[in-house]
Amino acid sequence: MGSPSANNIFSPLEPESFTDESKTVIGFIADYYRNIETYPVQSNVKPGYLSAQLPKTAPYCSESLEEILKDVTDSILPGLTHWQSPNFFAYFQANASTAGFLGEMLCSGLNVVGFNWISSPAATELESIVMDWMGKMLKLPSSSLFCGTGGGVLHGSTCEAVVCTLATARDKALEKLGGCEYITKLVVYASDQTHFTFQKAAKLVGIPSSNFRALTTSVSTEFSLSPEKVRAAIEDDIKSGLVPLYLCATVGTTGSGAVDPLQELGEIAREYKLWFHIDAAYAGSACVCPEFRHYLDGVELADSISMNAHKWFLTNMDCCCLWIKQPKLLVDSLSIHSEIMRNSATESNTVIDYKDWQIALSRRFKALKLWIVIRKHGLANLMHHIRSDIEMAKRFEALVREDKRFEMMATRRFALVCFRLKPKREDEGSELNGKLIDAVNSSGRAFMSHTVLTGVYVIRCAIGSTLTEDRHVNELWKLIQEKAQFLLLE
């Protein structure tokens, strides 16, 4: 291609080279997946490694795809932590699948910006349809779906979903209280196991940090939020002249997979008129299986619920589903009118303008991706994926329980196993288990992460990467045992 010149016309989007070059990139990605088990799962590069390898300034002339892909191989791949490796057991998985990839390709290939209905009617209409499909798979009440009185939207992350619902609840409360100055009175409630994204969201919408209640959980409630504690905290705050605003419950906490008691919490929220949000970012996916749906019992009481299809639902990043009971409140809070957006469809009040359901104006056609994921896999295979991960986690749990040097540290509900190597003395627990994780991760053969539950350092093994099979889980356990043996001999 070379640089632009008289006999070399610059054509940045041209179907012929597009076809060839995308085939090259797809081939590159396919090879990456073929070799994925050969890479150290967690990258071991040192901070700043990349600037030593790349030029200090951008190229003036065009470079070939071959040159660029060579640099991806030589400089970028070594600095990746391989989230799609079957030996990735850290955090929560970010599932990729062929269908998710195809959907993502169509989304970026068509590259429309569906901020309102008129800007791409199919983008809006497909999103509404797919959100109802997803909601029905999760057996959400019709009050949260378009076929009833609610509706759903795709966001990039749970954090955005929570920011938008918090802003809605805030605006509604401030209007009732009579002015913005009352923002210092508003209080939000969650547990100490609620994802930190909630705290970030509360900060972003202006809730003072002193009004953020992270109620402590304990082993006795299996790390779930105690309704009694919530009620007591609400009562205390009311006595102090504060205004309870928002309660966030979690189905499948990040630390241990705990499930908060939705029914009881929802009733408290209703009694004190709090906005009730359910964060099912991780475990929501499992609730498409009838045997796990009971974890969502009480969802009827929620004002909003969110789940990340990009975690466990074979949907490539990013894709967070948010359903809301009263979309009108969300729109009241988030809509801004501008002449450039004026159109007759909006004025007819018969269409959705998703720009009013999210933070940004511009938006990707993510619904296309989720639609293809659902159609190409079908509910049957999606359930199979969840179930086989949970079966693998059960077998891993059995291995932990069989070896008396180890102990389980939280009830396993989904595919997350929390355990540790028993220390000789309790005060040696974090150092010992920290060393164990380091030994496993630095081997490059697997990657796990940790958390702290009521002061105790715990290893998290999150099973659920798309490519993980029994043999990887067995190998992981052998590796852990081997490294533990070494540490115990020290």
Ligand X SMILES: *Cc1c(COP(=O)(O)O)cnc(C)c1O
Tokens of 183: 């923002």
Which one, 117 or 312, has the nearer CB to ligand X? 312
Instruction: Using DSSP, state whether 189 is helix, strand or coil.
Output: strand
Smallest separation, CB 94 to ligand X (Å) = 9
CB of 410 vs ligand X, minimal distance in Å: 14
How far is it, in rounded angstroms, from Cα 296 to Cα 299? Answer: 6
CB of 25 to ligand X, least distance (A): 26
In the bound state with ligand X, the residue whose beta carbon lies nearer, of 302 and 421, is 302
Give the interface with ligand X as residue ranges (CB under 6 A).
92, 157-159, 195, 197, 250, 253-254, 279, 281-282, 308, 320
Q: How many residues does the chain have?
A: 490
Query: ∠ at Cα 26 (377, 72), nearest 5°?
Result: 125
- Looking at the Cβ atoms of 93 and 144, the one nearer to ligand X is 93
Query: Partners of 105 in the beta sheet?
Result: none
Query: Which stretches within 219-326 are classed as H helix?
Result: 227-239, 262-272, 309-312
From the CB of 339, what's the least distance to ligand X, in Å? 33
CB of 414 to ligand X, least distance (A): 11
Instruction: Between 307 and 473, name the residue whose CB sits nearer to ligand X.
Output: 307
Whole-number minimum distance, CB 90 to ligand X, in Å? Answer: 12
Query: Which CB sits closer to ligand X, 119 or 254?
Result: 254
Between 319 and 399, CB nearer to ligand X? 319
> Given the complex with ligand X, which of 185 and 213 has the nearer CB atom?
213
* Strand duo 449-453 + 186-191: pairing: unpaired
Cβ neighbours of 328 (radius 10 Å):
14
| Closest CB 77 distance from ligand X, rounded Å | 24
**Smallest distance from the beta carbon of 413 to ligand X, in angstroms?**
13
Whether the Cβ atoms of residue 319 and residue 366 lie closer than 8 Å to each other: yes
Q: Please choose, from the candidates 295, 365, 354, 296, the residue with its C-alpha nearest in 3D space to the C-alpha of residue 330.
A: 354
Token pair recorded at residue 59 = 């190229």
- The residue among 335, 265, 332 whose CA lies nearest residue 303 is 265
Q: 23 in helix, strand or coil? A: helix
Whole-number minimum distance, CB 204 to ligand X, in Å?
12
Closest to ligand X by CB, 451 or 468: 451
* 223 or 282: CB nearest ligand X: 282
Nearest residue (CB) to ligand X, 320 versus 386? 320
Distance between CA atoms of residues 65 and 84, nearest Å: 24
- C-beta of residue 279 within 8 angstroms of C-beta of residue 306: yes
Per 3-state DSSP, the chain is made up of helix, strand and coil in percentages (nearest 5) of 50, 15, 35
Q: Are 244 and 238 in contact (CB under 8 A)?
A: yes
The helix (H) or strand (E) run that includes residue 461 is strand 456-462
Least gap, CB of 162 to ligand X (angstroms): 8
Give least dist CB 200 to ligand X, A. 8
User: At residue 247, what are phi and psi to the nearest 5 degrees?
Assistant: -120, 125
Closest to 386 measured CA to CA, from 348, 356, 416, 431: 416
CB of 155 or CB of 385, closer to ligand X: 155
Any residues with CB less than 8 A from the CB of 4 and at least 6 apart, and which?
Answer: 10
283 or 329: whose CB is closer to ligand X? 283
Alpha helices in 178-257 (DSSP H): 197-204, 227-239
CB of 248 to ligand X, least distance (A): 9
CA-wise closest residue to 336 among 321, 357, 315: 357
Q: How far apart are the first and last CA of the chain?
A: 60
Q: What does the alpha-carbon distance between residue 255 and residue 283 come to, in Å, rounded to a whole number?
A: 12
